[in-house]
């Protein structure tokens, strides 16, 4: 039995299907640009950047590879190979876990932290321009709440976030030894 054009049109134009497609298009557009900017600024691949970013979000900037794999939704084998490459490149170090003799803690090295900072100084303005500048303050809050609600109901959960969105201070975006001439908190976001 063949499905008619009208039936297909109803499925193709389904609200969930089109919304999901739009989310994927937005993610692809912003993500592709982000990976290019991160690599140009720091030499880090997207995966290396994500590992260093996730480590920076953990208390003491360290966690186990099992927890990191969970954070990133990586297979243990894929993460093990990535960690070995990053360790060989001097981006992170393994330390014995103080209370679990079977586990090791992963920590970024000074070199890894430096490259993460370089990447973030390039990445934050790009994300701000792509995700925040087109929206008013209220729209940003609504978007944050909607994304949080959807992630809360997913298997992934949300990324740890501050209690209320805060722009980074200009000094965090400036290169070391360079004054920042733009203050992101001074931007006007009128509709």
**Across 20-34, 108-122, 168-182, least confident range:** 168-182
pTM: 0.73
pLDDT digit string, tens, across residues 29-65: 999 999 999 999 999 999 999 999 999 999 989 998 8
3-class SS at 162? coil
Please give the Cα distance from 32 to 23 (Å, whole number).
14
Instruction: Give the model's pLDDT for residue 106.
Output: 94
Rounded to 10 degrees, the C-alpha dihedral 168/170/173/177 comes to -140
């Amino acid at each position: 039995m063949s499905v008619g054009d009208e039936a297909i049109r109803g499925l193709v134009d389904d609200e969930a299907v089109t919304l999901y497609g739009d989310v994927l298009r937005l993610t692809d557009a912003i993500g592709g640009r982000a990976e290019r900017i991160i690599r140009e600024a720091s030499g880090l691949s997207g995966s290396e950047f994500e590992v260093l970013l996730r480590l920076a979000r953990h208390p003491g900037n360290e966690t186990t590879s099992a927890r990191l794999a969970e954070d990133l939704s990586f297979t243990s084998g894929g993460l093990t190979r990535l960690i070995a490459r990053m360790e060989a490149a001097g981006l992170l170090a393994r330390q014995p876990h103080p209370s679990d003799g079977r586990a090791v803690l992963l920590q970024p090295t000074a070199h890894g932290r430096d490259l993460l900072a370089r990447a973030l100084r390039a990445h934050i303005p790009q994300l701000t321009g792509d995700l925040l500048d087109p929206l008013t303050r209220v729209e940003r809050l609504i978007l944050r709440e909607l994304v949080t609600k959807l992630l809360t109901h997913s298997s992934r959960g949300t990324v740890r976030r501050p209690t209320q969105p805060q722009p980074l201070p200009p000094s965090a975006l400036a290169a070391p030894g360079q004054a920042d001439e733009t203050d992101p908190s001074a931007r006007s976001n009128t509709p």
